[in-house]
Structure 1
Amino acid sequence: MSRPILEVIALTAQDAQAAESGGADRLELVTDMAADGLTPSVADFAAIRAAVSVPLRVMLRIRDGFAPGDLDELLARVAALRAEGAEEFVFGFLGADGAVDLAATTVVATAVEGCRWTFHRALDHSADRSAVRAAVGELPGLDTFLTSGAAAGVKAGLGVLLGELAKSGEPGYRQGILVGGGLRAEHVPELRAAGFDAFHVGGAVRGNGWTSPVEAARVAAWRTLIDA
């Protein structure tokens, strides 16, 4: 049986190296956490790719919130990142009504054809998460939903997470669940006992918020926790 997945948010090559050293299996690459994580530059992606060997999932989000913004600009960034070697991505878009923006999500999924990708926590902010899952569940390349079960985080969303795990294999629920968003160490034993096997952390592996770097020792502590 493979070990649980630990994904760590990285903003810099220094973050990436510390995360890999601490035992992260995969990194989510972003910039500007004041806007909850936007698409990094091609130069930053290239620097991080050169610094580590673990898989990298690159955020595709050019504005705060969950609307896609300028799709032409976003697609140009996708093309540039793919030309630089990006192979995995993170995205997902909502309309003003909280429903999935299926047109925009499909356009981007087509642009990353052949790549694996995560539908991110837009799911937790949607008006109807089951409708989102049904709408996007068959899009090519989608293998993961990053979710805490609720906009307020894992503590509030635990019941939802457990319900969705129980539906694994059904349409809209065939993808893996990557638990993240308000995830704290004390949540992990119950989540592991229930059968969750993928975890996503960001601020929890930094000493002083997003202005401080990832610390390898903190990543290693999470590695030990989820492997227990």
Structure 2
Amino acid sequence: MLLEVIALTPEDARVAAKHGADRIEFVSAIEEGGLTPALTFIEETAAECAIPVHVMIRPHGRSFLYSEADLERMIRDMSALGKAGAGAFVLGTLTPVGTVDEEKLKRLLDAAGDIPVTFHRAFDEARNLEEAFGTLVRYPQIRTILTSGGKPSVLDAAEEIARLVRLSSGTTIEIMAGSGLTPASLAGFVDATGVRAVHFGSGVRQDGAQTAPLDSVRLAAVRAVLGGRERGRDA
């Protein structure tokens, strides 16, 4: 099972890689939901980190509606961050009525080139999650949807996550569940939903605080739970 961990600094990335993360989602301004990080952080992390570094592309935290100037900035950031070693881009676009903004999405996918894309939790603000999934699945470049099932905490959306996991079966998209997971809640959630990829932020930080350093004990606990689920499926 895949474990993705949010990194705010290169040190976060080093700790996550050492203690069981399969990949990093690198962001800045986590208190705004995550914005595009500094180029120098990605250069440093990509040079040192043995696991993939996925990079947030988000110019502001106001919404997932983007102006032409926003879009141009995102495309410039993607060009620079791709050269710096980004393994994937994490992005999302919506229209004012809550559908995926395909016109802007296509331009961002074109800018990404051969680099894969995760559609982030803009997905959770779509007017209908299955409708949004049906749109995104038409774009093979989108490999992952990060979602809390439309709820503030994914723990309140187990049925919706299970439905999305079933919907994604046999497609090119993997459903990755995040927001609100903890080491203690993880086993039951994975068993209830069948999800194969999980995303952790504050749940693996010291005292569960959003901007605190990563907690190696919590990371190890999450990795142990996921390892146990893998062994159970292989048995």
Runs ≥4 residues deviating over 3 A: none
For 1:177, the equivalent position in structure 2 comes to 175
Alpha-carbon distance between aligned partners in 1 of 2:95 and 2:135, rounded to the nearest angstrom: 13
1:197 alignment partner in structure 2:
196
Q: What's the counterpart of residue 155 of structure 1?
A: 155
Residue in 1 that maps onto 2:72: 72
Greater helix content = 2
What is aligned with 1:96?
96
Whether contact under 8 Å (2:177, 2:199) holds in the other structure is yes
Contact 1:22 1:218 in 2 (8 A): no
Q: Which amino acid aligns with 2:44?
A: A
Q: Distance in 1 between matches of 2:204 and 2:178?
A: 13
What amino acid is aligned across from residue 188 of structure 2 in structure 1? E
Deviation, 1:216, is 2.1
**Deviation digits for residues 78-121 of structure 1, max 9, x if unmatched?**
11111222231111111222111111111111111211211111
- Tell me which of the two structures has the higher relative contact order, counting C-alpha pairs closer than 8 angstroms and 6 or more residues apart: 1
Give the deviation of 1:174 after TM superposition. 4.0
Per-residue CA shift, 1:54-99, capped at 9, x if unaligned? 0011011111021234111111111111122223111111122211
Number of the residue aligned with 1:33: 30
Q: SS of 2:155's equivalent?
A: helix
Aligned CA distance change for structure 1 residues 216 and 184 (closer, same or farther; 3 Å): closer
Q: CA RMSD in A?
A: 1.6
Q: Measure the CA separation in 2 of the matches of 1:116 and 1:200.
A: 17
Count of residue pairs the alignment pairs up:
223
The one-character-per-residue Cα deviations of 1:13-35 (angstroms, maximum 9, x if unpaired) are 11011101111000000001121
Q: Which residue, 17, 20, 23 being the options, matches 2:17?
A: 20
Q: After alignment, is 192-201 or 88-97 more displaced?
A: 192-201
Q: Aligned equivalents of 2:185 and 2:123: distance in 1?
A: 20
TM-score by length of 1: 0.91
CA-CA distance at 1:185 after TM superposition = 3.1
Report the Cα distance in structure 1 between the residues aligned to 2:113 and 2:140, rounded to whole angstroms.
Answer: 7
User: What runs of 5+ residues in structure 2 fail to find an aligned partner?
Assistant: 229-235
Q: Partner of 2:206: helix, strand, or coil?
A: coil
Partners in 1 of 2:163 and 2:76 — Cα distance? Answer: 38
2:123 partner amino acid = L
